[in-house]
Every structure is written in C-alpha cells, then in structure tokens.
Structure 1
Amino acid sequence: MIRKGYKPVIGVTMGDPAGVGPEIVAKAAAQGILAKDAHPIIVGDQRLFKRGMEIAKVRVDFQVAATLEEALTMDGIVVLDTRKFDAADLVMGELREECGRDAATNIQTCVQYCRQGLMDGICFAPNNKAAMKKAGFVLHGAIDLLAGFFQFTGNRGELNVLDDVWTARVTSHIPVKDISARLTEEGILNSIHLVNDTLKRAGIAKPRIAVAALNPHGGEGGTCGREEVEVIAPTVEKAKAMGIETDGPFPADTLFIKLFNREYDAAVTMFHDQGQIAMKLKGFDQGVTVMAGLPNPVTTCSHGSAFDIAGKGIANPGAWGNSYGLVVKMAAVDKLARVKEG
C-alpha cells in the first residue's frame, strides 16, 4: 500500500556543471517546486548546488546526505553529496570532459537507485552531449544513454510536451533525404503505441492521437507523394483496429491547429522538425522532453545547456520546473498502478 500522503522519490541531477543546469535547479528549488509534491534527492556535489544558488542569487535550505538510505530519512530538499566535482575553478560555458562525465555519472547513479526500487523517477537538468562524448559515453540522444543505463531494449523514444499537448516522432536525428525510406508500418505503430502508453502513465485514460502526413497537403491523394497512401494511412487504420483512438494522416500545416485547439492530446509526426518547430515556436521556455518507454518515468526540459548564457543568472527555470512537475505526476500514477496490480 502507498501510505497516506506518500510523495514519490525523485532523483534530480544538475546537468552539465558548466551550463545553466545548477542555476535552474536552484531557482526551481527556491520557488518551492521541488518538495511540494515529491521527495527530491539531488544527486551531485553540494559545492555545485551552492554555485548554482550563487549564480541564481537565491538561498535554499537543504540537507546533505552521504548515502541514499540517509537521504530517504530526511525531509525537504536533500543533496546526496557525491563529492566528485569542485565547482570553485569551473569556467562557465566551457566544454569539458570532466563536466560530461559528472553529468552522465549522476544520471547513472539515479538509474541504479530506480532499478533497486529506491527512486520512483528522474528529472535531469540540461546535459551537453558533446561533453558526454568527450568523456567516453556513446549516445545519439539522452534516450540512448538512459536505455543503456537501464539495460532496456524495448520500445522507447523522446516525446515533447507543452502544457497538455504531446508530440512524438517516427524518425529523429537522421538526414532529411533518408526520412521516406525509414517510414515503415512498424516504426509508425511503435510511435503510436509509445504515445498511447505514455499518456496513460501521465493519467490520460483514453488518449486521442493525430498522425501527421509526410508530403504537402497530405500527398494530395497520391499525386504529391505516395507515403500517405501506401504506409501512413494503412498504419493508422491498423492502430484503430487495436483500439487506439487514432486519426490521420493530417497535413502537417493544419495538424497543429487541431492539436493546440485540444481536439487531440498528441500528434505523431514523421520527422524531427515537423513537430519541434511548432512546439518550440509556441513555447520554447516551457517545453518538456519525456524519455518515454523506460521502466521509470524520466523527464527534462526541451532546451539545452545554454553555454552562451551560463553563469549570467538569467536562465529561465520554467521548462525544467514543468518537467519536474510532470515526472512527479507520472511517478505517482506508476506507483498507484503497481499497487493495484498487487
């Protein structure tokens, strides 16, 4: 049973030490976001958190723990002090191997605790992929890094969220010229299932999913491209037959009008920028990225480590605060579902 008033245990990492991560985590903590509905445990060096507070010009009361077992007994904001990164001589905005190693290692630690059942979810501040690669971590995106740490090989992907609007993409970090060849029934169905399952984990009982076309005007009945006729539309029908509330394919230039008017909860787009342009234009400082499909909910903000403004105290914590709120909600739904399953 979940005890009355149970708060999910959320592992928090501060992202790349030379980026805006420590600052926005400190700002969110000062706003009271972290401990309101969860038991936050910041995994990292307390000197880095203090540096984040200095940059943000905020003061946050927190406790320091040497072990997770100790951290779980403490109330409020807790820093599980790794004592691995001295921020005293840190040059903000500088790409450094040790920064990438610290960011990745702290995420790995949180994953280990999730696998042991000691944490319910993870929210990480912006990392820098180049720094992580310099440190020897192999990844195309954060989802690859996390899947490796979880030792998870199932259906997974990055979903983007703005307010109550969600998007997924069938293809991601590949050249535009390769998109058409990569569109398959299996790939589209995987994305539809991922969206449907993840929205249920976020508390939406019957997700409404719109699927994008690839070509202008939805292919104009096959006269302006055949992908809609041969692949996308048949896959949408197959998803419907599986009981998933799915419509489309819709021309991409009108699909987002429907989405932002809340006619649908989510859109499955065919390639990266098809959805990202609309979402970031609508709310760049508020967007959330969900690492969907993993055994535990994991989220972050949709923007990066912002080296250009790191250390200036002007970073907006809104997107990361939204990502934290969403992971708390998803972790609570997960916990309740496990209890009901017995």
Structure 2
Amino acid sequence: MKARLAMVVGDPAGIGPELTAKLLADRGNLEKASVLIIADRDEVEEGMRIAGRRFDYELSDKQPDQLATSGVVLWNFRGGASQQFERARATANGGSYSLDTLRAAVEITRSGVTDGLLFAPLNKSSLHQAGLRHEDENQWFAELLNVTGPHGELNVLDNLWTSRVTSHVALKDVAGLITQERIIDGIALVHSTLVESGLETPRIAVCGLNPHNGDNGSFGREEIDVIGPAVEEARRRGYPAVGPFPADTIFLRASEFDAIVTMYHDQGQIAMKLMGFSRGVTVHGGLPIPIATPAHGTAFDIYGRGTANVGAMQAAFDICVAMSAARRSMFAAA
C-alpha cells in the first residue's frame, strides 16, 4: 500500500518552498506516496512561481482526517505567524512558522493520518529566535514524542549512514561528553535503524577522537580508555562494530561499511558533504515515526533564483517513503 507523507516546506525565507515545488511537480514522486502539505498556501504558490513548475493540489482549510491514495492535499495552515515573511534572512516569524507547521505534522503523523514526515530545510537561528531551547530539532522531536531512549540525527549519503556520539555542542565540550554508554548508544541507534530499513547485519565502523587515533596515547587516551572498550562492549551486546579507526582515513574505506559512528558533528559531516552535498539526507533516528530532511541548509543566498538543487530533497523523500511504507505495513500486519 502506498505511503502517506506529511510535508513541511521549511523556513519561508529559504529555498524550502522552491524545493517542494520541484519535488512534487515530478509526477513519478506522486506514484510513490500521497502527500499532505502543511503550509501557508501563499508560500506554496510562491515556491512554484520561483521554481517555474506547478503541481495540482486539493485545498483544505482544516486538518484532513484522511488522505486520498494519490495526489497532494494542502492544509492551508500558518500557525502563529502573524506578519508577512521576510526573505533571505533569519527571523523569529519564520522560525515560529517552521515550528508550528512541524508540530502539526508530528501530531498528524503520530495520529496515523500520515505514516512519515518530510521537511524542507530549517534555519536554526530562526528557530532559536522563535523560542527553541533545544540543541537541535531531534531533541525537540524527542520531547514532543516522549522519547527517552537513544535518539539522534543520522546522516545518509547513498548507502552510507553515519551517527554521532555528540551533535550540536561546542567543540571544546566534546571530549568530556565522550563516554562508553554514549558510544554504545550511537552504535545501537544506527544499527537498529538500518535493521528496520531491511539490512539484517549492518557493518559498522567507529571513529577515534584524536589525530592519528591518539597514536597509542601520544595525543590523547580516549581511544584506549573509552572508545576501544566501548566498541568491545558493543560487540558483546551483539552489535557488529569495529574500531576505533583514525577519522582522517576511515571515509576512504567507506565502501567497506554500511555505517560509521563519529565522535562529533564535523568529523562526519565534512566528509559526507564533500562526497555528495547535493544528495545528503538527515534521518531523525530513535523516534517512533520516520522523519527525514535534506542535510543542507536554507541557502538564503540563492533565495528566489530558481536554481536550488532538488537532489537532497529527492533523496530525503525516497528514504522517508521507504521507511513510511515499512511502518504502515507493520501496523497493517499487527
């Protein structure tokens, strides 16, 4: 049975509405899923104007309680945003709109009207101006969904997944946050997500923290005292993890693995974005509903030009469709 996606167009000051138009104007995508867009109608129309492409939609002024098996429904919803949106800059108004539409999409998906959630790029400065107090969206999603177990952002490029032990924190704080349990949680998170996606025995590599993997303790002992023992314990718990490996070479061996666990944000993100910036996806792992988004940002600098690359949005759509279809099949079989 076809998946049903809730979709949010992201920060209105950026390229999200344009990406939405380009994605849904491709009729092949609507053969994969039915879509509920939760957005201000004017923003959707503006996105189509910028993209120079249109898609048909059924307009609703209230939350639909079900979706047709094909096509697009637009719930004309603005949340608490009361002013006109400024373009190409971070604002509290844009952040409020992003959070309100996302919150509605989470509730709709949790209720079963949709199976998964896809959102176009957000701007963290806008979100924080609007009152977000979490380090990132994943923490906010976890609170909305009452998740207390391991959860975090997973980054995906083609067939390679990464998880990270620390995420949106200052680099000076990273070493103090590297613990055995956090490393094991990072391994377990990417393992369980890949298994749920159909990969029975994921091959998982774990990065070290220090230059040259610490060089036997010459440049730090985290690999010896914390990371290595954590990998051993993860293996005892049944996770097929190996490492730690030097972070500056492990991505050269990426084809040998299905997933790489990194110690901090840029350790994996720089490599993944260099390998395929226009295809990278962020999956919000450890949550009870599938949530995916492009790994890139709002690109304020090219707002309105119609030149935004839809590749990462397409990849996020495809992953979200696959995970949502699996979730729907699971509930149908229950």
Which residue is equivalent to 1:277? 270
Q: CA deviation at 1:52?
A: 0.3
Using the alignment, how far apart are the partners of 1:311 and 1:87 within structure 2?
A: 22
Distance 1:12 1:88, change over 3 A: same
2:259 equivalent to 1:263: no
Q: Quick one: which of 236, 241, 261 aligns to 1:241?
A: 236
- Aligned counterpart, 1:328: 321
Which one-letter code corresponds to 2:185 in the other structure?
A: N
1:312 maps to which of 305, 317, 326: 305
* Residue identity matched to 1:98: N
Aligned partner of 2:250: which letter?
Answer: L
Structure 2 distance, partners of 1:177, 1:75, is 49
C-alpha separation in 1, matches of 2:176 and 2:54: 53
Secondary structure, aligned partner of 1:294: coil
Cα distance in structure 2, aligned partners of 1:79 and 1:186? 43
Q: Which residue of 2 aligns with 1:117?
A: 112
Query: Secondary structure at 1:191's aligned position in 2?
Result: helix
CA displacement 1:300-329 (0-9 Å, x = unmatched): 001111111111111111101111110111
Scaled by the length of structure 2, the TM-score of the pair is 0.94
Q: Give, in whole Å, the separation in 2 of the partners of 1:241 and 1:26.
A: 48
- Distance (Å, rounded) in 2 between the aligned partners of 1:216 and 1:228: 11
Q: Does 1:126 align with 2:121?
A: yes
Asked whether the 8 Å contact 2:80–2:96 carries over to 1, the reply is: no
Partner in structure 1 of residue 68 of structure 2: 73
**For residues 68-92 of structure 1, what are the alpha-carbon distances to aligned partners after superposition, in whole Å with 9 as ceiling and x for unaligned?**
4365136312212225599995442
Kindly indicate whether the alpha-carbon contact (under 8 Å) linking 2:81 and 2:93 is maintained by their aligned counterparts in 1. Answer: no
Structure 2 CA distance for aligned equivalents of residues 176 and 97 of structure 1: 27
2-structure distance, mates of 1:291, 1:231: 26
Give the match for residue 218 of structure 1.
213
The 1-side partners of 2:46 and 2:297 are apart by: 19
For 1:202 and 1:301, the matched residues in 2 are separated by: 18
Report if the CA contact (8 A) 1:162-1:287 is conserved.
yes
Find the aligned partners of 1:155 and 1:237 in 2 and give their Cα distance.
19
Query: What is the distance in 1 between the residues matched to 2:85 and 2:304?
Result: 10
Secondary structure, counterpart of 2:105 in structure 1: helix
What letter corresponds to residue 37 of structure 1 in structure 2? K
CA displacement 1:83-126 (0-9 Å, x = unmatched): 55999954421322221111111110111112212221100001
Output the aligned Cα RMSD. Answer: 2.0
Does the 8 Å contact 1:47/1:87 carry over to 2? no
SS of alignment partner, residue 216 of structure 2: helix
Displacement after TM superposition at 1:62 (Å):
1.6
CA deviation after TM superposition for structure 1 residue 337, in Å: 3.3
Per the TM alignment, residue 288 of structure 1 is displaced from its structure 2 partner at its CA by 0.3
Residues 90 and 225 from structure 1, CA distance in 2 versus in 1: closer, same or farther, beyond 3 angstroms?
A: closer
Separation of aligned partners in 1, 2:236 and 2:331: 28
Q: Partner residue of 1:252?
A: 247
Correspondences of 1:154-233 after superposition (within 5 Å): 154-233=149-228
The amino acid of 1:142's aligned partner reads E
Which residue of 1 is the match for residue 44 of structure 2? 49
**CA 1:39 to 1:283, structure 2 compared with 1: closer, same or farther past 3 Å?**
same
Q: Name the SS of the counterpart of 1:334 in structure 2.
A: helix
Work out whether residues 127 and 305 of structure 1, in 8 Å CA contact, stay in contact via their aligned partners in 2. yes
- Residue in 1 aligned with 2:295? 302
**Which residue number in structure 2 is paired with residue 3 of structure 1?**
none
Q: Which amino acid is the alignment partner of residue 125 of structure 2?
A: A
Residue segments in structure 2 that go unaligned for 5+ positions in a row: none
Deviation at 1:203, TM superposition (A): 1.9
Q: What residue ranges of structure 1 are gaps of 5+ in the alignment? A: 1-5
Asked if the contact 1:34/1:77 (under 8 Å) is kept, the reply is no
